Amino acid sequence: LDAATPGVVEGIGGLRVPLADGRDVLDLVADLGVPAVVVARSGLGTLNHTALSASALRRRGVDVIGIVLNRYDGASLAERTNPDALAEMVDCPIHTLPSRSVAEPSDAVSAVSAALPRSIFDDILPAERV
């Protein structure tokens, strides 16, 4: 991996998902030395697991550069208050991403990148890919 420059590492369902030989996704992210964007559900229950994920990453020396609350529509009280509560709890930028429907799976990346602030991509992707 020394010659490669990872752009995005998908967490495959969470930081503690086992990979092999007693290692998990958290180990992989820490070993790669890349900054992390935590993607979490937007509704009730997200405060605890999202704050724990950010904390686990930071304990391993991973820079958490943002949190994205996925499928956000602001319909519930929890969804409307979670972004501000998380910002106080984890001390990093919080972004929301509404549900997206695309005709082709290949269109998903464009839909997501259009909805998120450019700064997130500037922090995680090499300049030649931005």
CA dihedral 90, 93, 94, 100 (to 10 degrees): -140
Q: In the chain, which ranges are continuous DSSP H helix?
A: 25-32, 46-59, 77-90, 108-115, 118-124
What architecture (CATH level 2) is domain 35-124? 3-Layer(aba) Sandwich (3.40)
Tokens, residue 126: 């090499």
pLDDT in tens, 25-41: 999 999 998 889 999 99
pLDDT in tens, 75-130: 999 999 999 999 999 999 898 888 777 777 777 767 777 777 666 666 555 454 44
